[in-house]
Chains A and B, each alone.
Chain A
Amino acid sequence: MSTRFKNDSLWIETDTGNRISRKATICAPVNIVLSGNVVIKPEVIIRGDLKRSGPSPSIAMNIGKFTFLDDGCIVRPAYKTYKGAFSYYPMKIGDYTSIGAQTVLEAAAVGSYVDIGKNCVVGRFVVIKDCAKIAPNSVIPPNTVIPPYAHFSGNPAVQIGTLPESTLDNVELAMTTAYNEFKMT
């Protein structure tokens, strides 16, 4: 199979600094907004095709700047039947957020400076507020709200601690450093 691109490398870098692996599966990129400096690693699946039903064009996924989607994570919009009508609901992911490897994310909203560990399952319509942290291998039941600066862990996940006030600065520094040191290999 021949590729459409002259540059046959494994990564695409856009003008706004998004770095997207060619091995990632991105469905309907038309419905996905990347704010810049987003890193999408190999085997990631983003379901932009699952947008709100109806003829009008709509955005299925909004991803903030300096956000990392690690190897093999699956990001897809949540769905429900409301008043008898089935629909998908758009997902918004904030800035400086990282989503761990093999994690399945079906949240309604993920805030900024959030750290989601690897192998997590984040249920439908979960709302994760800013500066929260989710330990690896956690399962967040649907419709949960995770307050700011909370540390969640377990199956079903419960709050196990509170993060310090310096979390915001530390995460921002860590994510920008990770982006600058990231090598597209």
Chain B
Amino acid sequence: MASVNVLYQSKLRSTLNKGEFFPLSHLYFCEECDAIRCARTIILEAVMHYCPSCLFEVPAASVKSQRNRCMRNCSSCPVCQSTLSTVGTGTSIEDEHISLDQLTGAESSRADPPFLLSCSCCGWNSKSFGDKGVFEKPTGIGALIARSDEREGRANEEFEYLRDRFDSLLSVNGFVDDVSIHPLYPSHSRHLGGDAQLESIAEPEADKLNILRQATELESFSNSPRTSYPTSIYKHLQIPQRVKLTTKYSKRCGTCRHLLIKPDTKSHTNHKIQMTANSYVPSITARIARMALQPTGSRLTTNGELRAGRTYVYELQIINPLYDTIKIGMKVVDQRGCKARIDEGEYEVGAFNDVMEFEEEAWVQSQARRISEAKSVGLVESKGNSTRTMFELSVDSDAKCAELVLQVTYTYRLTSPPSTPQMEEAEDDFKDFTFNVLLDAGSVDSNE
């Protein structure tokens, strides 16, 4: 059912290029700069490395010597890239019903030597190497693979391959110097001053990255193990690869270098510092209102697209993540393929309350104020920390897609501790924050 993509702009700017908008979940918020930060305006710092298969942490000192791959027991199938399991094919338990040839699946492991590596996805197993593919111990197989890689000169194969490709690419396009000023690769000699400087770097950089991507399919030699080795038609003769390590990053604001994300080294799920935008900026979702509220004739096409020349009613939900009531107002700054009619007045959105979820339903009911069901523009419902409003969208008769850029301003109270105990009656300090959101109502079917 025609849901609307709501994307946030990381920086207030007059250029309303669609590429500068991101989903709220991908954005961060820097308290020092009082600004939203996106993937392009943060700095990444490697914090720790771990194997995505056995989840063991690898000390930073040994990552290089282990060639960024798991040294323990994790390897992936040379044919289909799925994880290999170590299978014991020993015969200490006699069972004449099972022939030894069938003892290669992980589900029939005997936990007795000899051991071999077996892929439970495509059926490949390391027996095809003869003696080299059979192990006496079920542990430390990664180290054995690494040793034979070094001996047979395969260890540098991937690096050489990547270097060849990048060398030719970078020299042709003259991008070599630019890598040093990319926000993702902090150069310590150069300190970025203000926001403006950062922006000026980020912008052309993004353009160049796009050129690179289009010209060479940058993804094809990204971190994926599928393509990192030169592909060979003799795949069944290739050796298993050790699993590549995953890196956890901490993320810093590109301007003031304050930490935005700091992973918890003890837990893979939690973060010690987590300044994601969704806990600072009100979340806005939009969807088309119930069919009963639509003007006559305004139905969607069978595949859920809008029809050209019709008017639709949308429901906009604003959820407040702050522990204080906010006032929010919005106005249309840009519209493509449609005309929007919204209520530009200010609404109050209640404070977020953790405890509310566990309280009586009745309390929520008493807070709920149903304002009006019939109208198609303006406030409809406010309940807890969420407010619903309606707006109308008239699709142009020659439109291909309908997009709407709203400038949202919200006012919140600054939570500063009182400096002196006598200041209880002190005036509250209010602060504004403004951001742009893009509502993408999808493509328009103009056949009708």
Complex-state Cα separation, A124 to B197, whole angstroms: 52
B187 interface contact, C-beta 8 A: no
CB of A158 within 8 A of CB of B109, answer no
Question: From A150, which residue of chain B is reached at the shortest CB distance?
Answer: B52
Complex-state Cα separation, A89 to B111, whole angstroms: 17
CB of B52 within 8 A of CB of A80, answer no
Residues in chain B near residue A125, CB distance under 8 A: 106
Q: Quick one: which of A122-148 are within 8 Å of B by CB?
A: 123-125, 129-131, 141-145, 147-148
Residues in chain A near residue B83, CB distance under 8 A: 141, 143-145
The stretch of B273-281, B332-340, B434-442 that contacts the partner chain: B273-281
B428 interface contact, C-beta 8 A: no
CB of A130 within 8 A of CB of B268, answer yes
Q: Quick one: which of A42-89 are within 8 Å of B by CB?
A: 79-84
CB A172 to nearest CB in B, in angstroms, measures 11
* Tally of contact residues, B, Cβ under 8 A: 39
CB of A145 within 8 A of CB of B55, answer yes
A169 interface contact, C-beta 8 A: yes
Query: Interface centre among A112, A158, A165, by most B CB within 10 Å?
Result: A165
Residues in chain A near residue B206, CB distance under 8 A: none
Residues in chain A near residue B269, CB distance under 8 A: 111-113, 129-131, 148-149, 168
Secondary structure class of chain A's binding surface, majority of residues: loop
Question: From A126, which residue of chain B is reached at the shortest CB distance?
Answer: B83
CB of A81 within 8 A of CB of B109, answer yes
Complex-state Cα separation, A159 to B245, whole angstroms: 13
> With A148-B268, A165-B261, A168-B269 in contact, is A142–B278 under 8 Å at CB?
no
Residues in chain B near residue A143, CB distance under 8 A: 83, 85, 106, 120
Residues in chain A near residue B18, CB distance under 8 A: none
Complex-state Cα separation, A175 to B53, whole angstroms: 28
CB B255 to nearest CB in A, in angstroms, measures 20
> With A148-B268, A150-B52, A156-B121 in contact, is A167–B109 under 8 Å at CB?
no
Complex-state Cα separation, A81 to B106, whole angstroms: 9
- A-facing mask of B156-178, CB < 8 A → 1, else 0? 00000000000000000000000
Residues in chain A near residue B274, CB distance under 8 A: 165-166
B325 interface contact, C-beta 8 A: no
Total of A-B residue pairs, C-beta within 8 Å: 94
Complex-state Cα separation, A169 to B119, whole angstroms: 36
> With A150-B52, A165-B274 in contact, is A158–B107 under 8 Å at CB?
no
Residues in chain A near residue B50, CB distance under 8 A: 147
A170 interface contact, C-beta 8 A: yes
> With A148-B269, A156-B82, A168-B269 in contact, is A83–B110 under 8 Å at CB?
yes
- A-facing mask of B219-253, CB < 8 A → 1, else 0? 00000111000000000000000000010000000
CB of B26 within 8 A of CB of A83, answer no
A145 contacts which of B52, B81, B120, B121 (Cβ < 8 Å)? B52
Question: From B39, which residue of chain A is reached at the shortest CB distance?
Answer: A164
CB of B25 within 8 A of CB of A167, answer yes
Residues in chain A near residue B261, CB distance under 8 A: 165
B108 interface contact, C-beta 8 A: yes
Complex-state Cα separation, A176 to B319, whole angstroms: 15
Query: Interface centre among B25, B111, B226, B357, by most A CB within 10 Å?
Result: B25
CB of A80 within 8 A of CB of B109, answer yes
Query: Interface centre among B24, B107, B119, B246, by most A CB within 10 Å?
Result: B107
CB of A166 within 8 A of CB of B82, answer no
CB of A147 within 8 A of CB of B25, answer no
Question: From A141, which residue of chain B is reached at the shortest CB distance?
Answer: B121
CB of B52 within 8 A of CB of A124, answer no
B25 contacts which of A112, A145, A166 (Cβ < 8 Å)? A166
CB of B82 within 8 A of CB of A170, answer no
- A-facing mask of B60-91, CB < 8 A → 1, else 0? 00000000000000000000111101000000
Question: From B108, which residue of chain A is reached at the shortest CB distance?
Answer: A81
CB of B107 within 8 A of CB of A156, answer no
CB of A79 within 8 A of CB of B268, answer no
Complex-state Cα separation, A42 to B423, whole angstroms: 60
Residues in chain A near residue B277, CB distance under 8 A: 166
B95 interface contact, C-beta 8 A: yes
CB of B276 within 8 A of CB of A166, answer yes
Q: 20 interchain pairs (CB within 8 A)?
A: A80-B109, A81-B109, A83-B93, A84-B93, A123-B121, A141-B80, A141-B119, A141-B120, A145-B55, A147-B50, A147-B52, A156-B81, A156-B122, A166-B25, A166-B277, A168-B269, A169-B276, A169-B278, A169-B279, A170-B278
Nearest first, the 9 closest Cβ-Cβ pairs linking A and B are A141-B121, A141-B82, A142-B120, A166-B276, A147-B52, A80-B107, A84-B93, A148-B268, A130-B269
Chain A interface residues (CB < 8 Å from chain B): 79-84, 111-113, 123-125, 129-131, 141-145, 147-150, 156, 158-159, 164-170, 176
